[in-house]
Amino acid sequence: MKLFQHRHICLFSIFLFAGITVFAQQPVLKKPVVKKPIASLYTVKTFENGIKLKIKGFKVKGAYLLFDDDTKVPANNTVEINQRVNMLIVLDNGFVAENGMKYPGASEKIVLSNGYKVLETGDLFTAYDSTGVKPEDANYIILKAVITQLENKKNHVIVSFRVWDKKGPDEITGSYKLFIK
């Protein structure tokens, strides 16, 4: 009988030892994964006259609304019917040079505040697709808008645009509003 008791004690000791081993293990602690924020490829800036630009790659010095005589559009963006507005973007750098020339692309869309689409252009610079433009000229992008008729002057005009590099990945998208007197 003592032999049986002895074996029982030995088996109990093995289980106890195995139990201690199992419980003695430290639980695996997983460190929380901290995700680093991905830097946005775009910079968003607002300039005079509420010109909003979303910029990828280009270095923009400024953006302005000017009349044909180079006077600034008033801060409230109120213009006359048939008064042309020139939106000028001045770049510090941008566009990939190829054979000493740069290749800008640009398009424009004009929509009334009620959603009616007045104009949507294709690429405004297709005339330069084969020749390109001088690097110093590519630093001054001018897009023009003129409202020739508006039945309900309570509607304002939203001019949106896109400027891009035909030889590289950089682009600018943006918009501004015009109000008609």
pLDDT of 4 above 80: no
> Across residues 142-157, what is the average pLDDT?
93
Separation CA 62–CA 91 (nearest Å): 7
Separation CA 44–CA 91 (nearest Å): 15
Using the Cα atoms of residue 125, residue 127, residue 129 and residue 135 in order, give the sign of their dihedral. negative
> Across residues 95-102, what is the average pLDDT?
96
pLDDT of 150 above 60: yes
> Across residues 173-180, what is the average pLDDT?
97
Tokens of 3: 């032999």
> Across residues 18-32, what is the average pLDDT?
45
SS3 state of residue 7: helix
Confidence of residue 151 (pLDDT cuts 50, 70, 90): confident
- Amino acid letter, residue 21: T
3-state secondary structure 115-177: CCEEEECCCCCHHHCCCCECHHHHCEEEEEECCCCCCCCCCCEEEEEEEEECCCCCEEEEEEE
* One-character DSSP codes across 41-100: S-EEEEEGGGEEEEEES-EEEEEEEE-TTSPBPPTT-EE-TT--EEEEEEEEE-S--BTT
pLDDT 10s digits, 31-76: 665 565 555 689 999 999 999 999 999 999 999 999 999 999 999 9
Lowest mean pLDDT of 75-89, 101-115, 145-159, name the range: 145-159
